[in-house]
Amino acid sequence: MFGYDAPRLHAALNDLPAALLLVAVLFDLGAWVTKRESLKAAALWTLWAGVIGGWAAVIAGLIAEEAIEHGEAIHDLMERHENLALITMGLFTLVLGWKLLRRARLTPIEELALRGASVVGLIGIVWVGAIGGQLVFEHAAGIKSDLLKAELRDREASDSSGRGPDHEHAPGTPEHDP
């Protein structure tokens, strides 16, 4: 879709919703502290966008899971990543749904509970992202085996500095100095 394979589509879709959900929580906390209705409204609209985008990222991740080559280590991490993403998005969806259901009639206890749930959701997003980073940066999830093998051969062909014979940096950079 749009020139992306499933893993790249998932990667392209997951950052903006996470940022939107972070901003929604910050707006909500700001509205609580300052008592500004404009921040409260911004928090709700940003939460809407973050939840919709978050579910798009989850769906893309479920499609990517079926599309990538992987062994047991990646599979175990993917399952943890998926479960945490589903729990986190479920939590944010519940917060949004409750706010919409109750409209402006939230009691102070409900507002506090929803704010706490949102902060827990934010921790979930960070955790989901950390596992996603582990999948990509420590296990090369989403990288086709033939490309990974070619990269490893290229690295092995490089000298001990990690640079091949044709690898040069501009004069004045630390990499250029002998």
CATH value at residue 101: 1.20.120
The reported pLDDT for the residue numbered 141 is 84
Under 8 Å between Cβ of 89 and 58: yes
Domain for residue 40, yes or no?
yes
Domain for residue 26, yes or no?
yes
Domain for residue 66, yes or no?
yes
What are the distances in angstroms from CA 65 to CA 28, 71, 177? 34, 12, 44
The reported pLDDT for the residue numbered 162 is 58
When computed from its CA atoms, the radius of gyration of the chain, rounded to whole angstroms, is 22
The reported pLDDT for the residue numbered 7 is 87
Domain for residue 169, yes or no?
no
In order along its 178 residues, the chain shows pLDDT tens digits of 556 788 889 989 999 999 999 999 999 999 999 999 999 999 999 999 999 999 999 999 999 988 888 888 889 999 999 999 999 999 999 999 999 999 879 999 999 999 999 999 999 999 999 999 999 899 888 888 888 888 888 888 876 565 665 666 667 666 655 5
Question: How many structural domains does the chain have?
Answer: 1
Domain that holds residue 71: 6-156
What are the distances in angstroms from CA 83 to CA 128, 137, 155, 162? 9, 20, 35, 38
- Residue ranges of the alpha helices (H) in 103-159? 108-139, 145-157
